[in-house]
Amino acid sequence: MEFAPAASRYLLEDTQLAVRSNCVQRRSKRAGFMVVIIGFIIVTACVLGGFAISGGQVGALIHPAEILTIGGASLGALVVMSPVKVMKDLMKGILQSLKGTPFNKAAYEELFKAMYELFRLARRSGFLSLEPHLSNPHDSAIFQKYPKVAGNHHVMEFICGLLTPIMDGSVSPQKLPELIDAELKAMEIEHHAPIGVLSKTADALPGFGIVAAVLGIVITMGAIDGPVEEIGHKVGAALVGTFLGILLSYGLFGPMATKLEFMGEAEMAYFKAIAAIVTGFVNDMPPKVAIDLARRGLSSEMRPTQEELEVLLKSAET
């Protein structure tokens, strides 16, 4: 009975932390979506607003043929340069950029608690006691308590892929860093592929804008003996091609590529935290120390304080 007040306190703190984490996650998703949309609105509004203030007619910038030429050519170039998997990853990345990264502070908190429970079990009953959790993680009583970890199959494969060879003795703790480096390097290359093709498409857009402008000038030269107003309209339409190519490159595709790069870095940081925890534990660090090692390597935005970490780990013990 003398431990009941402490247990109740940690249970209350865990409940409060869970509620706060859920609220933070919902706000993070809304904020991530809104920031991207607001950024594009600012770009469009400032460009069109400046044009309108200077006396331009916004309708004069709307030319479906120019949009078809530039958009179709850039899409075709993207298809030519990209393997199917890279295009799929690019589409997934763009959609995820609107939602915000799933590797937020709440995801780190669940990761720390899940790894702490696993390693407490390993220290208490031996590494072989992890076999049911690693061989069938989706039915694991530990992982199922942490949906942000269990719901990401890449994370589950990474955790199980690191711990299984240690458990069965096929890899020594001294050789584990080599396996981790190889897997993280392959993961980083895979993440950079969609960013690379999107960046190349952004670089090509001004060129496609020039192509559309040249085609417009060719059309204009065919009507050179026409009325001045008609010639002016055709020249303006041709110049819109150059305008659209530059705007789409520096106002949409380029920023989106940078956004995907930041999201890739956030994901890599999460996997490096997992690697740090596992490496620390298999080298005889206590579970708390191994997790604290990973915590110290996080950015200030994601890193829980020492007090918050203590509450997290205590709640995992109850």
Of the chain, the percentage scoring pLDDT greater than 70 comes to 89
- Sign of the four-CA dihedral 301, 303, 308, 313: positive
Residue 37: per-residue pLDDT: 87
Which residues touch 33 (CB under 8 Å, ≥6 apart)?
A: 98, 99, 100
**207 φ, ψ (degrees, to nearest 5):** -65, -40
**99 φ, ψ (degrees, to nearest 5):** -85, -25
Q: Is the pTM of this model over 0.85?
A: no
Residue 76: per-residue pLDDT: 95
Q: What is the pLDDT of residues 53-74, one digit of tens each?
A: 988 888 888 888 889 999 999 9
Q: What is the mean pLDDT of the chain?
A: 86
Q: What is the pLDDT of residues 123-159, one digit of tens each?
A: 998 888 999 999 888 888 999 999 999 999 999 999 9
Residue 14 confidence class, pLDDT cut points 50, 70, 90: very low
Residue 22 confidence class, pLDDT cut points 50, 70, 90: very low
Which residues touch 152 (CB under 8 Å, ≥6 apart)?
A: 102
- Sign of the four-CA dihedral 226, 230, 233, 234: negative
Q: What are the structural domain ranges in the chain?
A: 4-317
Residue 63: per-residue pLDDT: 87
**80 φ, ψ (degrees, to nearest 5):** -65, -45
